[in-house]
A and B are shown apart, each in its own frame.
Chain A
Amino acid sequence: MNYQAVIGLEVHVQLKTDTKIFCGCSTQFGASPNSQTCPVCLGMPGALPVLNRKVVEFAIRAGLATNCRIAPRSVFARKNYFYPDLPKGYQISQFELPICQNGHLDIEVEGEATRIGITRIHMEEDAGKLVHSDIPGLGSGSGVDLNRACTPLLEIVSEPDIRSADEAVAYLKKLHQIVVYLGICDGNMEEGSFRCDANVSVMPVGSATFGTRTETKNVNSFRFVKQAIEYEIERQIELIEEGGKVVQETRLFDPNTGETRSMRGKEEAHDYRYFPDPDLVPLVISNDWVADVALSLPELPEARRSRYRSDLGLSDYDAEVLTATREMAEYFEACIAAGAPAKGAANWVMGEVTRALNEAGKGIGECPVTPERLTALLQLIEKGTISGKIAKTVFDEMWTSDKAPEAIVEEKGLVQVSDTGAIETIIDEIMAANMGQVEEFRGGKEKVFGFFVGQVMRASKGKANPAVVNELLMKKLKGE
């Protein structure tokens, strides 16, 4: 029998606020254990949570960027369970009335477009961190660090519209790019700022009812998501083929083996007994607030890509690469604004600039060559003052010297020689010194043309205008 996988994803996005969702403690990563805590996030009796306005703004941004409806009224709820990383004995989350609902993202896998529904986005607080080793004197216990407790999260829940591991990865990558573009998440998957739980089931192709699903927790890289889902699909199909039944359960992905395994045992009857949190008043979001946030949204990658294609005439590939991060897109656009030719700027940003940044281990935000300077360089090429090849030398100099390209060209005498008289003199000398090759050329061996171009360029120290060289050389070799 053939099977069809059905996948839904729950993504936890850690928001890039300075403080926690319900108290003023810092959210800075890497502080010493329990140094960023207060009565609210420690769960002391009587402490009152107060909502961070920025969290709401970020949630609205995420909702708008994923085509959600923003709820005019939403409510926080308590999700009750016991675990040592949860000081209050409940997590403040949203249940019946989440802030965003009914959105979607369009993804593309191998040229095929699919719309993935987004059921809901809600705000909640993170739990603390449990440490099981590497604490001197820990003995047989576990350590609890509550710095992360009360850190703001968005949980973004997709519809079960995803049909393969590749679609799941495409959806996640798109969502990741969006939240980073929006400036609401640092996107750091290793530190857990963007993590994913995958609900997977399989059913016979054409079936109207979904199979029993499993939930694989906390998969924290795109590659692991693909592995975990593929493993889970295969495991479930094999199980059914052998006459077994999939059990609804939580599973854990093991990156070392690429397999998922049951977390049974930890899982006692889940009964969260959600109820509205009486400590937090309802959240009412006016149309004006939503409109203000909408105005502040940056242009998203999809819109940018289509603009680069239609307005700037760039290829799909160029548009894709240039919009990969908001910083790169903004750098590129600053070049265009300064008057750079689109294709030239695209090639340089994707080529030399990216290469130099990678070598230096820097992000484009730290690029020592400003968009204005790069544009000046591109204009020197366009005007024929320097060749593209010399421009690379100038660029390397700009990278280290903080000088304008014009100054470097002048200082180093790199101005391109387009003067036909000067070039003709060089050509005559080269031909006189290589009469053998001249005869070969005239005898029909046109390949030696490249040899002459090389010789002339070398003699001019790379400064001769290649177009002029080609033209004059051809004339003279042919004896015209």
Chain B
Amino acid sequence: MKITKAEVDAVALLARLELTPGETETFTGQMDAILAYVEKLNELDTSGIIPTSHAVPVENAFRDDAVRPSIGVESALANAPDRVEGFFRVPKVIE
């Protein structure tokens, strides 16, 4: 086994997903199969190779520090499930 049910539960918690015991079971099996497949890559010797962070060989995309118009409060809040006085409203967060 590449992955345990406990690990799947931990990942689900980090992603804020609520899984039923049946789902945890199913996903553990599926993720285990995926990891076993990817494990093949470890057969290659990559010791002298710089880790690849991007698939395309592009570097240094910049913009200048010039202000562009914002979209406005109404557009910003248009999709908000809840709002109050120009703010998004969320359940109380205790500081």
Which of A's residues lie within 8 Å of B, judged by CB?
A: 17-19, 23-26, 32-39, 42, 50-56, 75, 80, 82-84, 130-132, 135-146, 266, 268-269, 271, 273, 276, 278, 280-284
Contacts and interface: CB of A to CB of B under 8 A. Distances in A.
Contacts of B55: 278
Contacts of A75: 53
Contacts of B65: 17-19, 52-55
A136 B95 CA distance: 20
Contacts of A53: 62-65
B95 A132 contact: yes
Contacts of A135: 84-85, 87
Contacts of B72: 35
B40 interface: no
B67 A24 contact: yes
A334 to B, nearest CB: 28
B61 A281 contact: yes
B84 A141 contact: yes
Contacts of A23: 68
Given A51-B61, A54-B65, A132-B93, 20 more contacts: A32-B73, A32-B86, A33-B73, A34-B73, A34-B87, A34-B88, A42-B76, A55-B65, A84-B88, A84-B90, A138-B85, A143-B84, A143-B88, A144-B90, A266-B94, A268-B13, A276-B53, A278-B53, A281-B54, A282-B54
A106 to B, nearest CB: 32
B59 A284 contact: yes
Nearest to B82: A141
Given A53-B64, A53-B65, A273-B14, A137 B85 contact: yes
A130 B13 CA distance: 24
8 contacts: A17-B65, A32-B73, A33-B86, A35-B86, A56-B62, A132-B92, A135-B87, A268-B13
A153 to B, nearest CB: 15
A284 B60 contact: yes
Contacts of B85: 33, 135-138, 143
Contacts of B91: 140-142
Contacts of B86: 32-35, 145
Given A80-B14, A141-B91, A281 B66 contact: no
B76 A146 contact: yes
B70 A37 contact: yes
Contacts of A51: 61-63
Interface in B27-71: 53-56, 58-68, 70-71
B87 A145 contact: yes
A259 to B, nearest CB: 16
Task: Pick from B60, B73, B88 the residue with the most CB of A within 10 Å.
Answer: B88
Interface residues of B, number: 38
Interface string B6-20: 000010011010000
B90 A25 contact: no
A249 to B, nearest CB: 16
B89 interface: yes
Contacts of B3: none
10 tightest A-B CB contacts, nearest first = A24-B68, A143-B87, A276-B53, A54-B65, A144-B88, A53-B62, A33-B86, A84-B90, A141-B89, A50-B63
A24 B92 contact: no
B89 to A, nearest CB: 4
Contacts of A56: 62
A53 B65 CA distance: 7
Nearest to A143: B87
A356 to B, nearest CB: 36
B93 A25 contact: no
B63 A24 contact: yes
A84 B16 CA distance: 13
Contacts of B73: 32-35
Contact of A18 (B53, B59, B67, B70): B67
Contacts of A83: 93
A17 B73 CA distance: 22
A183 B61 CA distance: 24
A50 B76 contact: no
Contacts of A25: 67-68, 70
B74 to A, nearest CB: 10
Given A143-B85, A273-B14, A276-B54, A130 B93 contact: yes
A56 to B, nearest CB: 8
B79 to A, nearest CB: 8
B66 A38 contact: no
A276 B72 CA distance: 31
B30 to A, nearest CB: 19
Contact of B77 (A34, A36, A52, A281): A34
A275 B36 CA distance: 21
A52 to B, nearest CB: 5
Nearest to B56: A281
Contacts of B68: 19, 23-25, 38
Contacts of A55: 65
Contacts of B63: 24, 50-53
A42 B64 CA distance: 20
A26 B87 contact: no
A130 B55 CA distance: 37
A24 B66 contact: yes
